[in-house]
Amino acid sequence: MKTIKLIVDYKKRFGTKYTATPYRSGMDKNKLKSYFNNFGYSVQFVYPWQINYENCKNELYLYTSSEDKGLYYKSYLEDVVLGLKLAGAHIIPDFKFLRAHHNKVFMEILRRISISNEMESLHSKVYGTLEELREDLVHYNTINHVLKPSEGAMSRDVFHATSLKQLLKHAKIISNTSSYKNDLIDLLRSKKHEGYIKESRNRKKFIVQDFIPNLEGDWKVLIYWDKYYVLRRLNRKNDFRASGGGRLSYTRDVPTKLLSFARDIAIELNLPNVSLDIAYDGNKCYLLEFQAIYFGTYTLEHSQFYFAFNNKWEMIEESSILEKEYANSIVSYIENDFKYLK
């Protein structure tokens, strides 16, 4: 049997599972081990601190992530996974996708360099400070944009701006890093040292993205190898945001154009499993966000059907087991020479 090492966190968790028991305990490790064994792979669960970087070349590693407050532990996991990559281990998914997790600024950058221009029609820009946005205002001919912080979920601190005043107001809110102590120290520096430029009080990175008008909601698409699970998310009442609103529905009437768009995105990203947030205005599809690790699994766990492509899109009436689909997607990816459906 080939061996796959699964990196767990300090709580012994691996991945996410919406219905996990106890709460937030991740995927069932016994189920994972059983399903990987059924596919011909043995599993070893390891802590990050147990890794031997000098002897890990060509070893297979899967890993978890974290959304801990302050992202301290996630930063540690990034060090570990990048170390494995540099040491020659096979890591799934690639380190760049861990960097993009809970980091929408890098996700936007990754989207630009990973998705072909003919598929990417949603324009966005990223900034590290409020001052950078002010410097760039000359390029904003009209204001109809969505502002998002780099961290966060469920549409928290996501704003719609239709004027320059609103754009700067909302950017100031989501980028705020001001603190009385640090601001006072910086003020004293400016008094003491002539020509000293004070630190920005707005250094939380953020995204400014085109607003898509007339949307009733968006679509969450989870892809586990060749199975596509789709959830419709309607906008909150009197709001433009869908994520976090709780207005969810499973519909078997999913536009084939949206499914094909999701499949094309998955091929371009080259991932065994991925979560996509897609907007569809009846004419064009737009990739709003994506995640390749540690994403929510509600859409798969509660669905009684999925879609599959076999020369044409088909709907399969069947519920799925998260751990089984995860193991199958990983094994299929490995045995296809680390390529998605190619």
* Alpha carbon distance 334, 327 (integer Å): 11
CA distance 247 to 212: 19
**Is a pLDDT exceeding 80 seen at residue 118?**
no
pLDDT for position 94: 97
Two structure tokens written together for 271: 């991932």
- What is the mean pLDDT of the segment spanning 200-205? 94
Q: Residue 11: is its pLDDT beyond 90? A: yes
Q: How far is CA 133 from CA 64, 163, 221, in A?
A: 34, 14, 32
Q: In terms of Cα–Cα distance, which of 189, 286, 296 is closest to 248?
A: 296
pLDDT at 264 exceeding the cut of 90: yes
How many alpha carbons fall within 13 Å on the CB side of residue 85?
A: 15
pLDDT digits (tens, 9 = 90+) for 123-180: 899 999 999 999 999 888 889 999 999 987 666 789 999 999 999 999 999 999 998 8
Which pTM was predicted?
Answer: 0.92
Higher pLDDT, 139 or 203: 203
Mean pLDDT of 13-30: 97
pLDDT of residue 66: 96
Separation CA 322–CA 303 (nearest Å): 11
**d(C-alpha 230, C-alpha 170), whole Å:** 32
The DSSP line for 180-238 is: HHHHHHHHHHHHHSTTPPPPPS----EEEEE--TT--EEEEEEEETTEEEEEEEEPPTT
For tokens 């154009």, name the residue: 257
Helix (H, G, I), strand (E, B) or coil at 12: coil
Structural domains of the chain, ranges and CATH numbers in brackets: 2-100 (3.40.50.20), 108-119+215-335 (3.30.470.20), 124-210 (3.30.1490.20)
Query: Does the structure show a pLDDT above 90 at 243?
Result: no
- The answer to whether the Cα torsion of 180, 185, 188, 190 is positive or negative is negative
Q: How far apart, in whole angstroms, are the C-alpha atoms of residue 124 and residue 112?
A: 9
In this structure, are residues 14 and 27 in contact, taking their beta carbons and an 8 Å threshold? yes
Environment class of 248 (CB within 10 Å of its CB; exposed 0-12, middle 13-18, buried 19+)? middle
Q: What would you report as the CA-atom Rg of the chain, rounded to the nearest whole angstrom?
A: 22
The rounded distance, in Å, linking the Cα atoms of 173 and 287 is 25
Q: What is the Cα–Cα distance from 188 to 198, expressed in whole angstroms?
A: 10
- Compute the distance between CA of residue 249 and CA of residue 253 in angstroms, rounded to an integer: 11
Please, what is the average pLDDT of the chain? 93
Task: Name residue 306's beta-bridge partners.
Answer: 316
- What element of type H or E holds 264? helix 256-269
State both tokens at 187: 């003020």
Q: Are strands 41-46 and 145-149 parallel, antiparallel or unpaired?
A: unpaired
Structure tokens that stand for 15 in this block = 């991945």
Q: Which two tokens stand for residue 220?
A: 């969450």
Residues near 12 by beta carbon (within 8 Å), at least 6 away in sequence: 29, 45
pLDDT in tens, 51-77: 999 999 999 999 999 999 999 999 999
Q: Give the confidence band of 84 by pLDDT, cuts at 50, 70, 90.
A: very high
Element (H, E) at 60: strand 60-63
- Judge contact between 300 and 274, C-beta under 8 A: no
